[in-house]
Amino acid sequence: MKKIPIRLLPLAICFLPLALFAQKTSVQNIDRRVEDLLAKMTVDEKIGQLNQAAGDISTGTDVKQDNLLNQIRAGRVSSVISHTNFSNKITMQRAAVNETRLGIPLVFGFDVIHGYKTIFPIPLAQAATWNMAAIEASERIAAAEAAADGQNWAFSPMVDITHDPRWGRVMEGAGEDPYLGSRVAEARVRGFQGDDLSLPNTLAACAKHYAAYGFPEGGREYNTVDMSDQRLRQTVLPPFEAAARAGSATFMNAFNTLNGVPASMNKYLVTDILRGEWGWKGLVVSDWDSFGETIKHGAAEDDADASAKCLSAGSDMDMAGGTFQRGLKKALEQGRVTQAQLDEAVRRVLRLKFSLGLFDDPFRYLDPKRREQTLEKPEYRQASRAMAAESMVLLKNDGGLLPLNAGGPFKKIAIIGPYADSRGNKDYMSFWTLGLGMRQYDSTKVVTPAMALKPALEALGFEVTITPVCLDAACTEVDYSAALNAARAADLVIACIGERGIDCGESRSVSTLELPRGQERLVQIAARGNKPAVVVLFNSRPLSFPWISENVPAILVAWQPGFEAGNALTDVLTGKVNPSAKLPVTFPRSTGQIPMYYNHLGTARPQTRLGEIWTSGYLDLPNTPAYPFGYGLSYTTFSYSDLKLNKSVINKSETLEASITVTNTGKVAGEEVVQCYIRDLFADISRPVKELKGFEKIKLAPGESRTVTFKLKEKDLGYWNHQSKFKADAGKFKVFVGGNSSEVKEAEFELK
Ligand code: NOJ
């Protein structure tokens, strides 16, 4: 047995019988300890274990917080969410273990969305790397930092698929595709949890928001969701199922109603599918007051009704709202929930705490020395820089304008725009960097383009000026003329434009995807100087910028890259890193095209030319996107040849192998994400025109070729039909392989 520190002796004596069994957190051991403890608990203590109280940061609507420490002492708090102050966490944990009757430790939860102290690129950008090992590694770093700072539980990953980039939370997910979303979900769960939740550098993960939160009407946060069961199962649920199968310890309900039923009281979602069909055994936490919001949805009468409905649906813990505190006992007394239902929810909470090792050492995650040694290690920054560079998507590079090379025709470079050198607004990051604090944070930790790109270009022999403009709510004439003057004095313009960091994330929906604050006009005006330009977009969602797409030779989507923004941008623009990222989400030409996603059904009347009537299209805009899903350029070029199938007919137990040769046809080494899609040509119902079924990221030297093989089985060819059955229909299929969802080679086969 481990040595017990002196300060924990009283606690250890009190828990000696439990500690003797604490050697290894086997499931049986945990279950036995849970039952022992449950048998000692009063109803009030049980209800207390289902209550999560808000800490020192508020990430939701106002909730009434009576003195938190007194609530803890009274055994009314099981978990604290969003608490940053380290020593307060120690005080709170002491109160929980030393001053309550049963000494049950608190579990601390936190939104760890793209790094904790070391900020990584936003999750959507991470998905653009298509590099699952890098994503897993970034979450491992975030977990190490958060766990060293006393957090035990990450409210992450967000695995919501969306078709609507107006929705601010598109930045938190992996985009529009259920297959890519599932692989990313697994990588993140593995990254947070590792193999052992009780280790001091892992966190419990939380797959959220269950479910369908990414499909709010009008793209408006918290709004109504109404969809077929088929779309739910085919598009929305796969990443959740992947997270469940990867062992995500917890799930979070969503705020929305789904087909009229608030997700928190949705038995079909929580009990029938998650716990029933998938056999998942973890804890379900509400979203911020989402149990209480069932009342506001008009789907519950009062706290008791809401408590009864949410608990009966299979949800367990009440985040921040206090609804269970006020209503669950009454619901129990009225016989609307049973003691067995209450016990089951409490078991899930206790199991989580045992798995995290909190009973064995409640201060395991509250060691000031480890905190000191772990936070913000230089190697974490290196990982963040590499990931940021790997996430940047090159949309356009006419005439090989990039990378910038000192031997080229340009000597003077003007870096202009609001994000040339911004030091506030959580720019280059997002609102979801709560580990840094909410509004006040140390912005000197962020490397801006002016700090990194300018000196790097100067070292290469360029003359560089920085002209930050359009810093306010809208660009003014003064901004426009400053930009034009800077452009006139230079040979090349780099325009750093996009969105403010604080405009990315929850409750940050927009009604239009156009570049905000008149920034497209900024580029237009700067172009009057007749100098070639590189547009660098710092964005959290697909934006629409038709004039720039048409007229600017080089466009790089840098997303919100995190702390290492300027360094990563330098790596890409100078060619130290060859871009390899691919869009995990379609970029529409205009807001009016939403919803726009590559894996749509084929209409019976596809439009073949603009304005063609009696077809499905617009009079004023083509049906194609500005940039399709899976798209992204490199400084080299790749050719695809020789798509071969091992068979032209397979039966349901056989595997189809599709092989293709990819060649680096350019002059520099590069990485390519080779993507494999299928189409079920005719089935019992209509099927999407393409569906991603595999991808592989490969690195090729100039002139090098590699054969990549994808394997497809019956389950890859199957689908959820209109009667909620998963099946694969015999018949013809197409398989497509290429470097994005529109430019592909194709072959046909048949499933018998
Ligand atoms: C509400 C958000 O929807 C959820 O994602 C987050 O984890 C909680 N607030 C806690 O901050």
Kindly state if the Cβ of 111 falls inside 6 Å of ligand 1.
yes
d(CA 576, ligand 1 centre) in Å: 38
Tell me the per-residue pLDDT of 483-534, one tens digit each, with 9 for 90 and over.
999 999 999 999 999 999 999 999 999 999 999 999 999 999 999 999 999 9
Maximum alpha-carbon separation in the chain: 81
How far apart are the CA of 543 and the centre of ligand 1, in A?
A: 25
383 contacts: CB under 8 Å, gap ≥ 6:
120, 134, 137, 138, 141
Question: Does 638-751 match 6-373 at the fold level?
Answer: no
C-beta 305 within 6 A of ligand 1:
no
Percent of the chain with pLDDT over 70: 96
What per-residue confidence (pLDDT) applies to 269?
A: 98
Residues 6 or more apart whose CB falls under 8 angstroms from that of 66 comprise none
Residues 505, 124 contacting (CB under 8 angstroms): no
- CA dist 373 → 82, 117, 377, 517 (Å): 22, 13, 8, 43
The answer to whether the CB of 571 is under 6 A from ligand 1 is no
State CA 389 to chain mean position distance: 18
Q: What is the pLDDT of residues 698-746, one digit of tens each?
A: 999 999 999 999 999 999 999 999 999 999 999 999 999 999 999 999 9
Ligand 1 centroid vs 5 CA: distance in angstroms? 36
Is 60 touching ligand 1 by the criterion CB < 6 Å? yes
* Ligand 1 atom at shortest distance from the alpha carbon of 156: 7
Ligand 1 binding pocket includes 52 (Cβ within 6 Å): no
What was the pLDDT predicted at 64? 60
pLDDT tens digits along 475-497: 999 999 999 999 999 999 999 99
pLDDT, tens digit, 9 for 90 and up, residues 539-585: 999 999 999 999 999 999 999 999 999 999 999 999 999 999 999 99
Q: Which fold has domain 386-593?
A: Rossmann fold (3.40.50)
Q: Which atom of ligand 1 is nearest to the CA of 172?
A: 5
505 lines ligand 1 (CB under 6 A): no
Bond preceding residue 209 cis, omega within 30 of 0: yes
287 is catalytic: yes
pLDDT digits (tens, 9 = 90+) for 95-128: 999 999 999 999 999 999 999 999 999 999 999 9
Rounded-to-integer distance, Cα 251 and Cα 253, Å: 7
pLDDT above 70 (res 5): no
pLDDT confidence band for 6 (50 / 70 / 90): very low
Closest by CA to 413, choosing from 508, 506, 503, 487, is 487
CB 157 within 8 A of CB 123: yes
In which band, very low, low, confident or very high, does the pLDDT at 4 lie, cut at 50, 70 and 90?
very low
Question: Which one-letter amino acid corresponds to residue 304?
Answer: A
Mean confidence (pLDDT) of the chain: 95
Tokens, residue 239: 């990443």
CB 536 within 8 A of CB 365: no
**Segments in 392-476 forming alpha helices (H):** 449-459
Mean pLDDT of 453-469: 98
What are the tokens at 536? 């660098």
pLDDT band at residue 65 under the 50/70/90 scheme: low
Residue 714 CA, ligand 1 centroid: distance in Å: 37
Query: Letter for the amino acid at 561?
Result: P
| pLDDT score recorded for residue 611 | 87
Q: What is the pLDDT of residue 406?
A: 87
**506 C-beta closer than 6 A to ligand 1:** yes
Residue 181 in 3-state DSSP?
Answer: helix
Alpha carbon nearest to ligand 1 atom 11, residue:
59
Model confidence at 7, pLDDT cuts 50, 70, 90, reads very low
Asked whether the predicted pLDDT for residue 3 surpasses 50, the reply is no
Q: Do 659 and 647 touch, CB atoms closer than 8 A?
A: no
> CA-CA distance, 240 to 41, in Å (whole number)?
33
The CA distance from 568 to 578, in Å, is: 11
- If one residue of 167, 251, 288 were mutated to test the ligand 1 pocket, choosing by the most ligand atoms within 8 A of its CB, it would be 288
In this predicted structure, the answer to whether residue 232 has a pLDDT above a threshold of 90 is: yes
Cα–Cα distance between 370 and 145 in angstroms, integer?
A: 10
> Is the pLDDT at 63 greater than 80, yes or no?
no
Q: Which atom of ligand 1 is nearest to the CA of 213?
A: 3
Q: Is 287 in the pocket of ligand 1 (CB under 6 A)?
A: yes
How confident is the model over 27-62, as pLDDT tens digits?
A: 889 999 999 999 999 999 999 999 999 999 888 877
pLDDT in tens, 282-334: 999 999 999 999 999 999 999 999 999 999 999 999 999 999 999 999 999 99
Q: Which of 403, 362, 593, 599 is nearest to 494 (CA)?
A: 403
**Closest atom of ligand 1 relative to the 208 alpha carbon:** 5
Cα torsion through 451, 452, 454, 456, rounded to 10: 150
Cis amide leading into 595 (omega within 30): yes
Give yes or no for a contact between 712 and 722, defined as CB atoms under 8 angstroms apart. Answer: no
Nearest-atom index, ligand 1, CA of 320: 10
**Mutate-to-test residue for ligand 1 from 57, 58, 264, 287, highest number of ligand atoms within 8 A of CB:** 287
Residue 10 has pLDDT above 80, yes or no: no
What mean pLDDT is predicted for residues 189-208? 98
Which residue has the CA at smallest separation from atom 7 of ligand 1?
155
Residue minimizing CA distance to atom 4 of ligand 1: 287
Backbone angles phi, psi at 416, to 5 degrees: -120, 170
Residues 327-344 have pLDDT tens digits of 999 999 999 999 999 999
pLDDT at residue number 730: 97
Task: Give the HSE-up count for residue 11: Cα atoms under 13 Å, Cβ half-sphere.
Answer: 22
Among 149, 160, 164, 287, the one annotated catalytic? 287
Tokens of 631: 């798209």
234 lines ligand 1 (CB under 6 A): no
In the predicted structure, residue 15 carries a pLDDT above the cut 70: no
CB 208 within 8 A of CB 287: yes
Evaluate whether 469 touches 497 at the Cβ level (below 8 Å): no
pLDDT, tens digit, 9 for 90 and up, residues 79-96: 999 999 999 999 999 999
CA 158 to ligand 1: nearest atom: 5
Peptide bond into 628 cis (omega under 30): no
Residue 461: C-alpha distances to residues 289, 408, 416, 424 (Å): 57, 11, 19, 30
Domain ranges in the chain are 6-373, 386-593, 638-751
Interatomic CA distance for residues 311 and 315, integer angstroms: 5
Task: Please give the single-letter amino acid code of residue 545.
Answer: F
Please check the confidence at residue 13 and state whether its pLDDT lies above 90: no
Per-residue pLDDT band for 21 (boundaries 50, 70, 90) equals very low
pLDDT at 689 over 70: yes
Tell me: domain 6-373, CATH 3.30.70.360, correct?
Answer: no
Is pLDDT above 70 for 412? yes
Q: Starting from the edge strand earliest in sequence, which strands make up the sheet with 656-664, in order?
A: 638-645, 656-664, 705-712
Query: Quick one: fold of 638-751?
Result: Immunoglobulin-like (2.60.40)
Tokens encoding 442: 């140390």
CA–CA distance, 518 with 270 (Å, rounded to integer):
45
Cα(743)–Cα(628) distance, integer angstroms: 10
Give the whole-angstrom CA distance, residue 271 versus residue 501: 37
Q: How far is CA 538 from CA 332, 429, 505, 554, in A?
A: 51, 9, 14, 15
